[in-house]
Amino acid sequence: MRVHVADHPLITHKLTVLRDKNTPSPIFRSLVEELMTLLAYEGTRGVRVEDVTVQTPVSEARGVQISDPKPLVVPILRAGLGMLEGMVKLLPTAEVGFLGMARNEETLQPATYAERLPDDLSDRQCFVLDPMLATGGSLIAAIQFLFDRGAVDVTAICILAAPEGLAAVEKALEGREVTIVLGAVDDKLDEHGYIVPGLGDAGDRLYGLV
């Protein structure tokens, strides 16, 4: 597994405003989108391309285009939805699938409650969007779900991670073709599973308390 922390002053600046509890929802939403475009730039370094030749007004030029099958972007509901626009702005030809994950309060294990994905992901490059890598439970389940459908390489893009969650993902997906791209790694998880210092509940801050 590869972990890449996108260390750039613009990312840290936007992240700082996101963390501020006084940042209202509309600004929070547009900042997540902007931040996501920057993280998507980092996260798509490994996007598969193929060689093409085009004709410029002057001569032939060799270049690349994104290969088929097109990448699949999978936001994890609900907070991952806030990251989708920023991602597809940069990768407009990607297809989008959806995965809803929630914790089963009896087993405390993440369970899939909604899914709209191709049945066969063989040879697909997948990009999972989940803003907060906290315990890692839902991200591990989501990535595992994609591998079970045949995906070959998965990049997860998260805004923040806790070291505990990163370690859990690393342990669970050891040896798999996984890249995690992050805005920052914070200090720790608190006893309620919140990232510290974090930014609070990303879903609530994006969409309100519902």
Residues taking part in catalysis: 103, 107, 201, 204
Buried b (16+ CB within 10 A) or exposed e, 86-110: bbbebbeebebbbbbbeeeeeeeeb
Q: Annotation-wise, does 150 bind a ligand?
A: no
Contacts of 133 (CB under 8 A, 6+ apart): 139, 156, 158, 160, 161, 162, 165, 166, 169, 180, 182
54, with CB counted inside 10 A (0-12, 13-18, 19+), is exposed
Q: Annotation-wise, does 200 bind a ligand?
A: yes
CB atoms within 10 A of CB 194: 17
Strands 188-189 and 195-196: antiparallel
Retrieve residue 195's tokens: 């990232």
Tell me if 201 contacts ligand URA by CB under 6 A. Answer: yes
Q: Annotation-wise, does 19 bind a ligand?
A: no
Tell me if 206 contacts ligand URA by CB under 6 A. Answer: no
46 vs 193, beta carbon nearer ligand URA: 193
150 vs 197, beta carbon nearer ligand URA: 197
125 vs 138, beta carbon nearer ligand URA: 138
In the structure, how many helices (H) and strands (E) does the chain have?
Answer: 6, 13
Point out which span in 83-91, 99-107, 140-148, 198-206 binds ligand URA (CB under 6 A): 198-206
Tell me if 198 contacts ligand URA by CB under 6 A. Answer: yes
Q: Annotation-wise, does 78 bind a ligand?
A: yes
Retrieve residue 21's tokens: 């509890």
Q: Please tell me the distance from the alpha carbon of residue 74 to that of residue 206, in angstroms, as a whole number.
A: 18
Q: Annotation-wise, does 141 bind a ligand?
A: no
71 vs 136, beta carbon nearer ligand URA: 136
Tell me if 134 contacts ligand URA by CB under 6 A. Answer: yes
Tell me if 94 contacts ligand URA by CB under 6 A. Answer: no
Tell me if 159 contacts ligand URA by CB under 6 A. Answer: no
Among 39, 87, 117, 132, interactor with ligand URA by CB under 6 A = 132
Q: What is the contact surface with ligand URA in residues (CB under 6 A)? A: 79, 132, 134, 193-195, 198, 201-203
